[in-house]
Amino acid sequence: MTSEVVIKADKLTKRFGDFIATNEITFEVYAGEIFGFLGANGAGKTTVMKMLCGLLKPSSGKATIAGYDIYKQTESIKKNIGYMSQKFSLYEDLTVIENIKFFGGIYGLTDKQLKEKSDELIETLRLKSEAKKLVASLPLGWKQKLAFSVAILHEPKIVFLDEPTGGVDPITRRQFWDLIYSAADRGITIFVTTHYMDEAEYCNRISIMVDGEIKALDTPTNLKQQYSATSLDEVFYELARGAKRKSD
């Protein structure tokens, strides 16, 4: 992690009619940092993430991603980020290798780069015997690891992960996080939303959103100290229990 700021949000606000979905969100994320973005359902995480990726115009406030302005430089932002969510990632009806080629093509890799990257990926993920199988046939944990690797094929500055490990057990989540650490070691910044507190513990810093506002932002250790809590679960509960927006 370095002191270079790669995500800078300054009073980002989004209103839908009279409803304030996110209220003056302000934070910075550093290059190579693993930044956890937590909040109960409806807190406003996805709305913030969409604004940062240049997919949703804020009502007010400013933000830069890798130095690019979210209002005026959305095309440059898209070239410098990767994105993965539980809901959108790979094509189930394409094989492993076809998915790698497809996304590599979209990200503008040359044939040579694509060949190198796909060989390397198949090797790292130990997917050699699965390379020609349909993604639909892979266990969920493997799909997620592959989806993450594909999202960073083009070595973006920042990768946005929206609940990337939903539905898998803690051991598979741990393996997924090994991939995250190795990407962060290479300087890729990780911005991740999660509901799992074991994952929150793996982050360098986490922010906790409640009803459209950031209520806490610090390292997991400092937050536990600050709230005299033994676990992040307790910190989260303490902050989120007063939430007015309820989960569906």
Residue type (1 letter), 229? A
16 is a contact residue toward ligand ATP (CB under 6 A): yes
Helix (H, G, I), strand (E, B) or coil at 215: strand
Q: Does 194 bind ligand ATP (CB under 6 A)?
A: no
**Min. distance of Cβ 139 from ligand ATP in angstroms?**
24
Nearest-angstrom CA–CA distance, 104 and 234: 42
Indicate which single residue of 9, 12, 43, 158 sits in contact with ligand ATP (rule: CB under 6 A).
43
- Closer residue to ligand ATP, CB minimum distance, 43 or 159: 43
- Is 21 a binder of ligand ATP (CB under 6 A)? yes
Least gap, CB of 213 to ligand ATP (angstroms): 11
Size of the site for ligand ATP (CB under 6 A): 12
Q: How far apart are CA 126 and CA 146, in angstroms?
A: 11
CB of 155 vs ligand ATP, minimal distance in Å: 27
151 phi and psi, to 5 degrees? -65, -20
Min CB(56)–ligand ATP separation in Å:
8
46 is an interface residue for ligand ATP by CB under 6 A: yes
Told to check if 39 binds ligand ATP by CB under 6 A, we report yes
What's the per-residue H, E or C state across 96-158?
A: HHHHHHHHHHHCCCCHHHHHHHHHHHHHHCCCHHHCCCEHHHCCHHHHHHHHHHHHCCCCCCE
